[in-house]
Amino acid sequence: MCAPAEFAEIAPNAQSEQVTFGSAGIAYAGLRLGKSVGSGRVVATVSLGGAAGFLSDTATFTITPGFAVSLKLLPRDTTIAVSRSFPLRGGLTDRGGNSVTFDGQSFDVHGTSVAVDARGVVTALQPGRNYVISRANPFVDSVSVVVVP
């Protein structure tokens, strides 16, 4: 029977590893990965005992963003002077907080003192209070924008 397997270079954000052996001495490995997007690899090494050396193998993996679970806009609430602009940041994220790409996000304004373009850049037109609303079905978020002279 071989010695227990060792695992190394488990990333990104690996959560746990477990190795069990069957009755024939076969090692079964389970790996629970984290939520961070990225590439990583698992290197398994088993000692053959004494002068026989080691056996090693590598498996690579890539964690990609999951399904969107929320839409968050930043800055949350802000004050801006007339004729100034700022970009809204944030967007859709999965349950691990990873950004999710979505081409259908739209912006609307409730109020008359700001304008927002398709990229989410807000421009102050005249003093007043407004809400900028973003939709990425089925998610909705809004931010308050106060324009001062």
For 2-48, what is each residue's pLDDT tens digit?
A: 444 444 444 445 555 556 666 676 666 666 666 778 887 777 777 77
DSSP letter at 5 equals P
Q: What is the pLDDT of residues 75-100, one digit of tens each?
A: 988 999 999 999 998 788 888 888 88
More confident residue, 113 or 7: 113
Q: What is the largest CA-CA distance in the chain?
A: 82
Residue 149 per-residue DSSP state? -
Burial class (CB in 10 A: 0-12, 13-18, 19+), 77: exposed
To the question of pTM greater than 0.95 for the whole model, the response is no
CA dihedral 71, 77, 132, 82 (to 10 degrees): -150
